[in-house]
Structure 1
Amino acid sequence: MAQTCGWGLYGSPRDLLQVSEAEIVAAFGHDKPTRAEFERLSDATYSPLLEDDGRGRGRCLVLFQGGVPEAVVFWGHSGD
């Protein structure tokens, strides 16, 4: 089961889901993606990792530099 990054608009722990290790490895080929790798993926025409998870839902992913966590990226849709 995916880890939650926090609480969302509707108070459900499913409102903001951390990308699972299996999804990370499938998208990047390893478990510590960098900012540059994520930017290449987000510039792609289609990526299952960035697929819409519905209104009021979001995803988050830790990015690494030199094997050390550097940033967290968030994406998704508001509930508006």
Structure 2
Amino acid sequence: MGGNGWTQTGPYQRDLEAAFRRAQEAELAQDDHGFGPGRTVEELWLDPAWHEYIFTGGTGSVLDFPAMTDPSDTDDGPFMRPLSEAEIRAFAPDGRPTYADWDEALDSERLDFPDRAQGRCTVLYTDGEPTHIGYWGVTAD
């Protein structure tokens, strides 16, 4: 099997890791994937059954990653990694990509999907102001 690519957006926060956690909480509130309501993402990642679920199919969302790494981290997943400034400027020369810039870059493959069990994120701008974070990744299966 090969991993499945996915995209989603979440609200902007200056602290990207806090925004990532907020996006995970929102996603989990929408769908607990059969693991029962009231569990946190951290609790799920301590459960071997969750590991099996993620690594044999996954959610196709920010829930597929236990943590966010640094933009310079080159380790394999499963991690969410923000783009570096150079990676952002490669598809948005002004360094302030809009949703349309990001979406078009992914569609045209100017911005790559990562390898299986990995995710990426970047801040998205509206009228020059940060408003959202674009998340994308590939499931582990």
> 1:1-80 to 2 correspondence within 5 Å?
5=17, 8-9=65-66, 13=69, 15-44=79-108, 46-47=109-110, 49-51=111-113, 53-80=114-141
Percent of paired sites with the same residue? 30
TM-score (normalizing by structure 2): 0.44
**3-state DSSP of counterpart to 2:131:** strand
Q: Which runs of 5+ in 2 are unaligned?
A: 1-15, 22-64, 70-74
Rg larger in structure: 2
Q: Which runs of 5+ in 1 are unaligned?
A: none
| Alignment RMSD | 2.4
Q: Which has the higher contact order (CA 8 A, sep 6+)?
A: 2
Shift of 1:55: 1.8
The runs of 4+ residues in structure 1 deviating greater than 3 Å are: 4-7, 11-14
Distance 2:84 2:139 in 1: 21
Change (3 A) 1:79 1:24: same
Aligned length: 73
TM-score (normalizing by structure 1): 0.71
Change (3 A) 1:58 1:26: same
